[in-house]
Amino acid sequence: MSNVTVSIPHQLSRAEAKLRIEYGVSKLHKQGGAPLSNLKESWTGDTLDFSGDAMGYTFTGRLFVEDKAVRIEVALPAFFSMLADVLKPTIEQRGRQLLQGPKRS
């Protein structure tokens, strides 16, 4: 296993950041299919524990909604550890997308 940690700054309240992440995760479930499958998540306060499968390999992780950033820690299977430098920007990009919308009125 190899760990990848990403910190994504935001200017939202914790509640708004969490809401946007919940919405994005909900969309992932509805989309289903490749490359991610068997997605599971569990919130405890402002911390999200998650797991899933990608290309037949299981990954796990934890997302922390903090005051000024969202921190994501992903434990990658050995197969993906050599791709950690490639995956990190992808995780950052997806995290930014989750935090950018939708906005509550």
For residue 6, the number of C-alpha atoms closer than 13 Å in the C-beta half-sphere is 22
Strand order in the sheet with 69-76: 2-9, 69-76, 57-65, 47-54, 36-44
Domains of the chain: 2-94 (3.30.530.20)
**10 — phi, psi (to 5°)?**
-150, 165
**pLDDT of amino acid 105:** 46
CA distance 97 to 104: 15
**pLDDT of amino acid 94:** 86
Query: Each residue's pLDDT tens digit in the chain (105 positions)?
Result: 678 899 999 999 999 999 999 988 887 767 665 577 788 999 999 999 999 888 888 889 999 999 999 999 999 887 777 777 888 898 898 888 888 865 554
Tokens 């946007």 — which residue? 20
**pLDDT of amino acid 43:** 96
